């Protein structure tokens, strides 16, 4: 599925004037719908705050609380794996290429809406879990907001998305365009079930069927049934010729 930019052949004269054909190797370029491994770092332009990164050294150097995993992330441009503005920037990049760019609020999390800032009596928040302090995030009536101020028995809560109204600074690197069938399957599997190493799953491909045997540690993962259903859909959509996905769980009697 990956796109290629063909530079083609060029002619040059060498020696006695004989024309010699030199072929320039084609370069793979990211196209919409490709499976791509990407490293990225996103910061808030106004403050330099680290929003998210796939790089462990960046997280450690900036004292971020993000716990990882720190590894290249699977992205399929045009499918909403990341912000659309980031996926759009990946189009036309080649493996190993890095790019820096900014995303304005209207292409990120939208402008701040003053109407989403509410003043609520403190007595209404008796059942809210956790401390109510300036800067804390709390959930009220199913909506998450940030406490902006407390005083006179009232609390001002901002229900705008945390990054609303902020310009984002992004750094991205295309690590690899996945073209081989088995690596595409493993990448899709790891994306849906990241808590277990992809190598621990036994995969058999016999078109139109893909059979995946789950290791024991995957059996009781939270929402594993939802992950399996999503993975099956991914495999049938992004791996040519796959029309059926079978998951195998094997239980054996323990000796003794």
- Cα separation, 14 vs 20, in Å, equals 7
Give every CB contact of residue 180 below 8 A, 6+ residues apart in sequence: none
Q: Mean pLDDT over residues 72-86, rounded?
A: 96
* Whether residue 46 has pLDDT greater than 70: yes
Judged by phi (left if over 0) then psi (alpha if -120 to 50, else beta), residue 177 lies in: beta
Contact status, residue 192 vs residue 227, Cβ threshold 8 Å: yes
- Cα separation, 42 vs 105, in Å, equals 13
pLDDT tier at 25 (50, 70, 90 boundaries)? low
Q: Could you say which DSSP state residue 215 is in?
A: P
What would the pLDDT profile of 174-230 be if each residue is shown by its tens digit? 999 999 999 999 999 999 999 999 999 999 999 999 999 999 999 999 999 999 999
- Cα separation, 254 vs 244, in Å, equals 32
Contact status, residue 200 vs residue 188, Cβ threshold 8 Å: no
Question: Whose structure tokens read 């290429």?
Answer: 97
Contact status, residue 76 vs residue 69, Cβ threshold 8 Å: no
What would the pLDDT profile of 225-254 be if each residue is shown by its tens digit? 999 999 999 999 999 999 999 999 999 888
Residue 1 is predicted with a pLDDT of 39
- Cα separation, 96 vs 175, in Å, equals 6
Q: How many CB atoms lie within 10 A of CB 205?
A: 16
Residue with the larger pLDDT of the pair 98 and 252: 98
- Cα separation, 256 vs 250, in Å, equals 19
* Whether residue 10 has pLDDT greater than 60: no
pLDDT tier at 100 (50, 70, 90 boundaries)? very high
Residue 13 is predicted with a pLDDT of 42
Residue 64 is predicted with a pLDDT of 66
What domains, with CATH codes, occur in the chain?
A: 1-7+20-109+167-178 (3.10.50.40), 114-158 (2.40.10.330), 180-256 (3.30.70.2210)
Percent of the chain past pLDDT 90, that is, above it, reads 75
Q: Mean pLDDT over residues 75-90, rounded?
A: 96
The distance of Cα 45 from the centroid of its chain, to the nearest Å, equals 21
3-state secondary structure of 238: helix
* Whether residue 11 has pLDDT greater than 50: no
- Cα separation, 140 vs 69, in Å, equals 30
Residue with the larger pLDDT of the pair 224 and 11: 224
- Cα separation, 225 vs 74, in Å, equals 21
- Write down the mean pLDDT value for the chain: 88
Which of 67, 41, 44 minimizes the C-alpha distance to 53?
41
What would the pLDDT profile of 120-140 be if each residue is shown by its tens digit? 998 888 888 777 899 898 988
pTM score of the predicted model: 0.80
Burial class of residue 97 in the structure, from the number of CB atoms within 10 Å of its CB (0-12 exposed, 13-18 middle, 19+ buried):
middle
Q: Could you say which DSSP state residue 80 is in?
A: S
**Tokens at 227, concatenated:** 């992950």
* Whether residue 37 has pLDDT greater than 90: yes
Residue 63 is predicted with a pLDDT of 75
* Whether residue 61 has pLDDT greater than 80: yes
**Tokens at 185, concatenated:** 């399957």
Contact status, residue 242 vs residue 211, Cβ threshold 8 Å: no
């Amino acid at each position: 599925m990956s796109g290629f930019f063909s530079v083609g052949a060029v002619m040059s004269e060498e020696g006695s004037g004989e024309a010699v054909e030199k072929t320039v190797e084609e370069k793979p370029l990211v196209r919409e719908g490709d499976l791509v491994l990407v490293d990225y770092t996103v910061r808030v332009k106004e403050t330099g705050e680290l929003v998210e990164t796939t790089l462990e050294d960046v997280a450690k150097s900036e004292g971020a609380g993000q716990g990882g995993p720190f590894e290249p992330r699977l992205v399929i441009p045009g499918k909403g794996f990341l912000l659309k503005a980031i996926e759009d920037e990946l189009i036309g990049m080649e493996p190993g290429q890095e790019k820096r760019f900014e995303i304005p609020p209207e292409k990120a999390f939208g402008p701040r809406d003053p109407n989403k800032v509410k003043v609520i009596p403190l007595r209404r928040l008796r059942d809210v879990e956790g401390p109510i302090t300036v800067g804390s995030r709390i959930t009220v009536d199913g909506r998450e907001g940030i406490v902006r101020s407390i005083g006179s028995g009232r609390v001002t809560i901002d229900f705008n998305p945390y990054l609303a109204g902020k310009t984002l600074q992004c750094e991205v690197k295309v690590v690899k365009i996945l073209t081989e069938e088995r690596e595409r399957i493993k990448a899709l599997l790891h994306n849906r079930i990241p808590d277990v190493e992809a190598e621990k799953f036994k995969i058999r491909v016999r078109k139109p069927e893909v059979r995946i045997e789950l290791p024991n540690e995957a059996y009781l993962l939270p929402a594993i049934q939802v992950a399996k259903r999503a993975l099956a859909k991914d495999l049938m959509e992004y791996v040519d010729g796959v029309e059926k996905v079978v998951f195998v769980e094997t239980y054996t009697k323990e000796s003794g």
